[in-house]
Amino acid sequence: MDRLTGLVAFVRTADLGSFAAAGRVLELSPSAVGKAVTKLEQQLGTRLFQRSTRSIRLTEEGRLFHERCRRILDDLDDAQSVLAQAMETPRGRLRLSSPIVSYHLLLPLLPEFTERYPEIELDLDFNDRIVDLIEEGVDVAIRSGDLPDSRLMARALRPFQLLLCASPAYLERHGVPKCPRDLDRHFGLRFRFPNSGKLQEWPLTLPDGEPELRVRSVLTCNNMEALRGATVRGLGIGCLPDFLAREPLANGALRTVLVDHIDAPGQFRLLWASNRNLSPKVRVLVDFLSERLFVPRCEDWHAFAAS
């Protein structure tokens, strides 16, 4: 058990960056955590951390050892959870972080979830910033893009499609673009990612050798709902995910353009900390959202395309 104690102290220290932070999690003094790690280093015959008066950091050997130890401890956590799960009812507070644009997709699903799992208390956080799940105590997050942290587990949700849309009034004033090059004489409404500040690329496939488009941006914003509103009001052409454009396309407030030139499937993922992957409340939420959050696209977006 001494070696297991050392492994736990080492992994928590590497995760949190200090003996003091690891001690708070393990309910030990920083000195006890440091001694456990030192004893482990002596047993292994190698230094796992470079220490200074202000900080510690993993050595190369420590980094490799940390990756393997984390998997070992996760497997141990899983084994313990399996024994208890059959008798445990999902319960307790569950924090879910999700992009702002997803609130109108999540809210209709919540009555079914709360009825099915009445002992779970949902704490919803709608924002577009990068969330550190472990540091901020978030159980599950919905995010797009690459997996940002090796300490996280992920499950892909069903993909969605990005669409170029404009209002009928805008198209009547400025004409319907027939090919991507026509966009050079149109007004663009652009989405700026809150985390990076970069503008979203429009999902167009251009022939090899074609110069980049010179769409004039008349508005940029970091809120996709606001971008949809500006597009519906005829300010220009906007790029919207299909689930956000569905209603205004169906009621005629928007029309798609250049559907045949678009190639940009989007992807959201559910993320959760790897050492929580068998928590009953996390498991039921991940399974529920994987099944219900993004239904397969049955609409033919060509039917909404501008003629």
Q: Is the pTM of this model over 0.75?
A: no
User: The tokens of 51 are what?
Assistant: 């220490």
Strand partners, 190: 220
Instruction: Give yes or no on whether 2-85 and 92-159+267-292 have one common fold.
Output: no
Q: With a cut of 70, which residues of the chain have pLDDT below it?
A: 1-2, 82-88, 145-150, 207-211, 264, 275-278, 294-307
Cβ contact 11:73 at 8 Å:
yes
Compute CA distances 114 → 69, 107, 109, 126, whole Å. 37, 11, 9, 18
- CATH class of this structure's domain 2-85: mainly alpha
User: The tokens of 102 are what?
Assistant: 């997803």
What is the per-residue pLDDT for 307?
A: 43
Cβ contact 241:160 at 8 Å:
yes
Cβ neighbour number for residue 249 with a 10 Å cutoff: 21
For the chain, give every domain's residue range.
Answer: 2-85, 92-159+267-292, 160-264
What is the per-residue pLDDT for 294?
A: 63
Query: Is beta strand 160-166 parallel, antiparallel or unpaired with respect to 255-256?
Result: antiparallel
Q: Which CATH superfamily is domain 160-264 in?
A: Periplasmic binding protein-like II (3.40.190.10)
92-159+267-292: which CATH number, 1.10.287.130, 2.40.390.10, 3.40.190.10, 3.50.50.60?
A: 3.40.190.10
What is the per-residue pLDDT for 211?
A: 63
Gap between the Cα atoms of 281 and 284, Å rounded: 5
Gap between the Cα atoms of 221 and 223, Å rounded: 6
Cβ contact 97:138 at 8 Å:
yes
What is the per-residue pLDDT for 242?
A: 87
